């Protein structure tokens, strides 16, 4: 399959129309971004600050032995590896473990206090106002991949910016929370794209990994509802990240996952918003159009400036800059 991505300014932005294979387009974007994009220094500095913020949140959660990070750290240590090209470390540990387990611990730790950075997908200039939100919980993906492949901190920072750009742009065009789907799905898609890129996957393998994430790993907001919140709330992004990385490993090993998932008529995007919509919000519009398309066009920036500048800090903080 192929993606007919177009670009109004090849150096600045990539537009993936609804009528194209956007999963493949995201994969191609991530590969291109990691092999030539040079965001402004101000963008990278802000990304670095968000990473430091998240790392301090995570380190303190582990140091204070909060429950979910401690449980998941014990689990990760059961998956220790000796080969540095196949293992990564997590916060507070020098033991190499399987990379998805390292990212699992780090993701749970940085979110434990509910205090690291938050973004809100709202871009009226493009009429992309879905208003989904998310957090800086996915940076462990970039760290693990760069650690295994011997890449630099600069590469890791660029990968973090790419993860943020993809999940931030998805948050502008599709509101998961409107359908009681947990917001971490966008981050899992971005994680699969960037992790696959760093690990040397082809665009088609990344496309299939994204397809597996969407087809097999959709968490609902039951995680955040009910009479008592559980560890699942703070670890939602971490668990989805672990799944995304496993999906990449499987497709790189030859597993054939679903292709062209954004146009799949029974995946969450068309299922909830059409074309050929099957489910709807109470008193909401219905898109019965018969078309081989996703519900939205997707704009991805190579400068990352728009999304990065829109990220906000929560008032509840462990550190102020």
Q: What is the pLDDT of residues 83-94, one digit of tens each?
A: 999 999 999 999
156-175 residue pLDDT tens:
999 999 999 999 999 999 99
pLDDT band at 252 (very low <50, low <70, confident <90, very high): very high
> Across the chain, what does the average pLDDT equal?
90
The pLDDT value recorded for residue 49 is 94
Q: Mean of the pLDDT values across residues 23-47? A: 95
How deeply is 250 buried, as exposed, middle or buried, from its count of CB atoms within 10 A (0-12, 13-18, 19+)? Answer: middle
Task: With a cut of 90, say whether residue 116 has pLDDT above it.
Answer: no
pLDDT value of residue 307: 52
What are 199-233's pLDDT values in tens digits?
999 999 999 999 999 999 999 999 988 877 899 99
At residue 313, the pLDDT reads 42
SS3 of residue 311 by DSSP: coil
User: Is pLDDT of 186 > 70?
Assistant: yes
**13 pLDDT band (50/70/90 cuts)?**
confident
Longest dimension (CA), the chain: 56
Strand, helix or coil at 15?
A: strand
Check residue 312 and give its pLDDT: 45
Residue reference for tokens 């208003």? 131
Please give the average per-residue pLDDT across 245-251, as a whole number: 98
Residues in the chain: 321
Low-confidence winner among 146-160, 163-177, 193-207, 301-315 (lowest mean pLDDT): 301-315
Q: Check residue 314 and give its pLDDT.
A: 41
pTM above threshold 0.85: yes
* Percent above pLDDT 70 for the chain: 91
Name the burial class of residue 253, with classes exposed (0-12), middle (13-18) and buried (19+) by CB atoms within 10 angstroms of its CB. Answer: exposed
Q: pLDDT of 123-135, one tens digit each?
A: 999 999 999 988 8
The residues, ordered by sequence, that sit 6+ positions from 304 with a Cβ below 8 Å of its Cβ are: 37, 39, 43, 47, 161, 162, 164, 165
Please give the pLDDT value at position 37.
87
When mean pLDDT is compared across 27-31, 139-143, 276-280, the lowest value belongs to 276-280
Between CA 250 and CA 196 the distance in angstroms is 11
For the residues 171-187, what does the mean pLDDT come to?
95
- Please tell me the predicted confidence (pLDDT) of residue 282: 64
- 260: confidence class by pLDDT, cuts 50, 70, 90: very high
What percent of the chain clears pLDDT 90, i.e. is strictly above it? 78
Judged against a pLDDT cut of 50, whether residue 99 lies above it is answered with yes
Confidence of residue 267 (pLDDT cuts 50, 70, 90): very high
From CA 206, how far away is CA 188, in angstroms rounded? 12
The predicted model gives 97-109 an average pLDDT of 98
């Amino acid at each position: 399959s192929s993606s007919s991505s177009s670009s109004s300014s090849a150096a600045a932005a990539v537009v993936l129309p609804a009528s194209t294979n956007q999963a493949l387009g995201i994969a191609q974007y991530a590969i291109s971004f990691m092999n030539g994009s040079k965001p402004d220094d101000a963008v990278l500095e802000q990304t670095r600050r968000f990473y430091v913020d998240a790392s301090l949140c995570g380190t303190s959660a582990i140091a204070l032995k909060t429950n979910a990070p401690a449980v998941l750290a014990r689990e990760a240590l059961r998956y220790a590896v000796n080969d540095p090209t196949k293992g990564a470390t997590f916060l507070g540990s020098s033991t190499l473990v399987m990379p998805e387990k390292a990212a699992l611990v780090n993701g749970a730790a940085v979110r434990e206090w509910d205090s690291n950075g938050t973004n809100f997908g709202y871009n009226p200039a493009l009429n992309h106002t879905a208003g989904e939100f998310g957090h800086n919980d996915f940076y462990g993906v970039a760290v693990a991949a760069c650690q295994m492949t011997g890449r630099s901190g600069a590469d890791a920072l660029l990968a973090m910016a790419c993860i943020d750009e993809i999940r931030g742009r998805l948050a502008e065009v599709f509101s998961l929370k409107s359908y009681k789907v947990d917001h971490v799905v966008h981050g899992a898609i971005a994680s699969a794209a960037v992790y696959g890129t760093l690990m040397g996957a082809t665009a088609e393998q990344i496309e299939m990994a994204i397809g597996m994430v969407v087809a097999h790993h959709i968490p609902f907001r039951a995680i955040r509802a009910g009479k008592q919140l559980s560890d699942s709330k703070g670890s939602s992004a971490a668990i989805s990240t672990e799944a995304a990385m496993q999906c990449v490993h499987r497709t790189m090993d030859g597993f054939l996952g679903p292709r062209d998932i954004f146009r799949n008529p029974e995946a969450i995007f068309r299922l909830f918003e059409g074309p050929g919509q099957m489910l709807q919000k109470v008193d909401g519009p219905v898109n019965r159009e018969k078309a081989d398309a996703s519900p939205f066009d997707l704009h991805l920036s190579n400068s990352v400036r728009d999304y990065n500048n829109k990220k906000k800090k929560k008032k509840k903080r462990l550190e102020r800059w």
